[in-house]
């Protein structure tokens, strides 16, 4: 039940249309909760029906027309309740670790390249987050909300650091074997 809450958070930060939300999910929010436009439109419909958000008036409700939403008090209350609710961490599901384990059984041929490819992707992601950090969190921006958002971004950064470190170690292991 996280997507509707991700959308409520995004809309509280700034009222938006479905496509704008999609783009924001591709950027800032997307680094810890991704969603496609199809999901977002479906969820916006549900949230509107539940009375958690509403379309800003003075918008033609026609098909190809932009439709902006804002959060209603009920939506904010629901989000606050969700934040206070306690939820266990979900067990990891990582296909790359799984594939490495499978490779231990059926052979590692060609797997080094895949590890190198992932390493490059994670390095790029790390660089992007670091650039974001510099842009969005200069030392003088230090309000309460900023510090919390910064903490979230540092989570993303440290996660990418973990991956680059682990992949580097894995590749060293691979290269040692192949000599």
Instruction: List the one residue from 84, 85, 93, 135 that touches DNA (CB under 7 A).
Output: 93
Question: Is residue 39 involved in binding DNA (CB under 7 A)?
Answer: yes
Binding-residue pattern over the window 146 to 175 for its own copies, x denoting contact by CB under 8 A: -xxx-xx-xxx-xx--xx-xx--xx--x--
Cβ proximity to its own copies: between 37 and 149 the closer is: 149
Cβ proximity to its own copies: between 138 and 155 the closer is: 155
Q: What is the dihedral of CA 61, 62, 68, 73, to 10 degrees?
A: 30
Cβ proximity to its own copies: between 62 and 110 the closer is: 110
Cβ proximity to DNA: between 96 and 171 the closer is: 96
* Long-range contact pairs involving 111-120 (C-beta distance under 8 Å, separation at least 24): 111/174, 112/171, 112/174, 112/175, 112/178, 115/167, 115/170, 115/171, 115/174, 116/171, 118/163, 118/167, 119/163, 119/164, 119/167, 119/168, 119/171
Q: Where does this chain touch its own copies (CB under 8 A) — which range of 16-24, 55-63, 86-94, 126-134?
A: 86-94
């Amino acid at each position: 039940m996280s997507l509707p809450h991700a959308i409520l958070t995004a809309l509280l930060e700034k009222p938006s249309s479905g496509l704008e939300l999609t783009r924001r999910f591709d950027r800032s929010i997307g680094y810890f909760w991704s969603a496609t436009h199809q999901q977002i439109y479906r969820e916006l419909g549900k949230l509107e029906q539940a009375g958690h958000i509403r379309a800003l008036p003075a918008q033609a409700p026609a098909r190809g027309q932009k439709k902006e939403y804002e959060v209603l008090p009920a939506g904010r209350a629901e989000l606050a309740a969700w934040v206070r609710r306690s939820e266990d961490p979900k067990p990891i599901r990582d296909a790359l670790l799984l594939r490495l384990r499978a490779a231990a059984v059926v052979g590692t041929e060609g797997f080094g390249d895949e590890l190198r490819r992932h390493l490059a992707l994670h390095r790029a992601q790390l660089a992007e987050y670091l650039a974001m950090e510099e842009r969005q969190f200069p030392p003088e921006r230090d309000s309460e909300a900023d510090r919390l958002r910064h903490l979230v971004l540092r989570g993303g950064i440290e996660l990418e650091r973990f991956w680059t470190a682990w992949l580097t170690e894995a590749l060293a292991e691979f290269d040692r074997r192949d000599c």
